[in-house]
Structure 1
Amino acid sequence: MTLNIDNPALIILIISTGLFIFISFIKYAFETITLEILYLWRKEEKYGISRLENLIQNQDRSISTFSILKSLSLIISISTLNIYYFREYPYSQIEIVSINIIATILIGGIETVNHSLTKQNGPLIAHKLYYLSIILNILLRPLTRSKERIVEITNPDKEYPNNSDNNSSSKRISIQMDDEGEPLEDHEVKMIRGVFQLDKTTVREIMVPRVDMISAEITSSFEEISAIMLNTGHSKIPIYKEDIDHIEGIAHSMDILRFVSDANNAMAIDIDTVLRTVLYVPESKTLEDLLTEFQEKRMQMAIVIDEYGGVAGLVTVEDLLEEIVGEIHDEFDSGEPQIKKSKEGEFYIDARIDIDDLSVTLGIEFEGEGFDTIGGFVLHQLGKIPSPSDNLQYNGFNIEVLTTVGRRIKTLKITEIPSVQNPETTKN
């Protein structure tokens, strides 16, 4: 099979395919622009803040324009591909079908590559293509406006994002929050980033895992439950029957202490009569939805369930708040950091630390799925129940198990290896 370069369809195919790749790349770049990026640029006083504001205000319109161009170029590419092969090889129907299948796979590959390429530098790319987006928005305005009209007719209850001259009022308000031009403080940037991540972070990422839950059995007395509360500093604890998967309710310190002061009354009343309703949430629930549910139901604790209906952990309003403002320590917290670095350059790590946070500290990526903590990663790599002194080497670091609690890893020591001959993981 040879290509006939004199066939006009081949030239159109090459041009339309190139246009599809380019437009797909630009579209993904524009989708990476967020208000969080704008605040970070303001904080770093980067050049072109006003241009980035304009890009955000017209983001939906630009993405709509690129979507139309992308669809048109894709239709032209597929059509000319079939026309070319049908004219050149009219009796090779199997080959034409095969070519279409290959083309579909290539399209998916192009989309994946473009999405990956624009993840880090998308806003900067969009910033450089600012004037191109303006020109394309003007040229394709009739088409984008027609698209808006169709949406309005087919779904009148839905407010199209480009109905107004600017985007949604929330965007305009957010952009104007720092009109005085004052640079944002570090803690302000951190809080803003936390707020914007609420709809992307799941309950699983911040919950207290099942094995770390402080709870009590329903057969416990008022005095025993109050002692647990006093020793741990928790004002609310789950009360279970037989095992932790069967939680009967939540015990509140105000309810418990009311009966502890009256021993005779406490003896006559069952603990289950003072328990409050349990709020169950799936571990895939976003923090934004969790916050809304906490507000609507006026509750401050939820039990997290996994896909099989078992208890995976618990989450509180404090956990949610810490995602926005950072760690909150009270008099009952140990105050010890999860990562401690010695003078010799050794890292002493709490095995429960989020693996993404540790990646930032060490400057390496931990590959794999099915774990959220460094302890889970080590357990996954070892492939057995860990014991103190177990160690493995990964990406230039030696990771050693220092202490364990039952079958769980408690603390780890991570040491950088001076020279690494083989970067692959090795276990000892």
Structure 2
Amino acid sequence: MLWIWIIVLVVLIFFSGFFSGVETALISLNMFKVKALVKQKKKGAEVLYRLKKDPHRLITTVLVGNNLVNVSAAAIATYLFTDLFGSAGIGIATGVMTFIILVFGEIIPKTFASENAERISLSVARPIELLCYVLTPFTIFSDFISRKMSKVLGSKKEKQLSEEELKTIVTMGKEEGILSREAADMIHNVLKFEGTKVTKIMTPDVNVDMIDGEKTIKQISDYVINKDFSKYPVYEGDKDNIIGILDVDDLLKYVKGNKIFMKVKEIVKKAYFVPESKEIDDLLTEFEGKDMQVAVVVDEYGHVVGLVTIEDIMEEIVGEIFDKSKKPSAYIKKLSDTEIIVDAMAPVDEINEALKIKLTEKYANTIGGFIEHLLKRIPKEGESISFKNIKMKIEKATAQGVKSVKIIKG
């Protein structure tokens, strides 16, 4: 009978090590790794994914299992040692079992599991899932208690991976040679998108070539084909009244088909409008979902303020990597070394750089805001303002604000 209890005790110690190792292995694998294993169709990966989707239940099951075998092992050891040594056996059992469980039930299995997390997790996924069902009554009860305690203590569920942690991982990947410099820079650029408005990358309306929809294909074909753009906003009457987008590829088809006397407005595609508050990452998702490549940006009053294309977004991701030369600002059209036309949203620091002047950014970041702060009102179209050694002429303005300005350095 003694040998039977000893064998049971050994088995319980083995399972103590098993549960400790499983706990370490499963915690070591994050969901990104598990999803990769599922894509690779590794055996047991789908079961492992199901387990990791409910981490609270998984950990509760493993801990319940581990505590059950540890308590059982301690009880049997106490029985055996008191049978052999009397009342002194309780102290002996406590000391011996503490050492055995610490070494064989914790340190060795956890060390091994941390070094072989993937292999162990895949191997034990199915039996652990089965155990989750077997221990359901225990896990439901303990889950209820732990959630109540969490509410009392005010604990909050944290994100698995924060943006800063992801940036750190990418940087480490680049430093260790796992990611190329270009790949790491592209990922960092994508992460910058969050919270960034389309106005940051759009081409302001003052720099957008627009086509009058009433003109014929013959009238505009030479002009359009000789330009570098592939798409043009088409307006009717007023430039704020955009009626569609002209695709140069479509234009060429009509030119080749000798349909050159058709009006441009007859061949345009539907224009897609977005508010200037639209964020870049949202727009990219919409471009992909709607299979579109260009959007007209409008302000809260419906006035056109610019144009943004899929190329603008892609340039934000890869442009600085493959083109180290600094491109001219999309907000500024340079006429000479001392004369420029700018969109009202042009940053003051870019104007300072373009003309080698020193307008203060204390009161406004954009030239439109700077002028309105200077005058304490919205200027009229055609109005001229002098400030130190520069002259600013309002090229375009509405009742809502300045649209474009010509700036001449004195």
Q: Which has the larger radius of gyration?
A: 2
- TM-score norm. by structure 1 comes to 0.45
| Greater share of residues in helix | 2
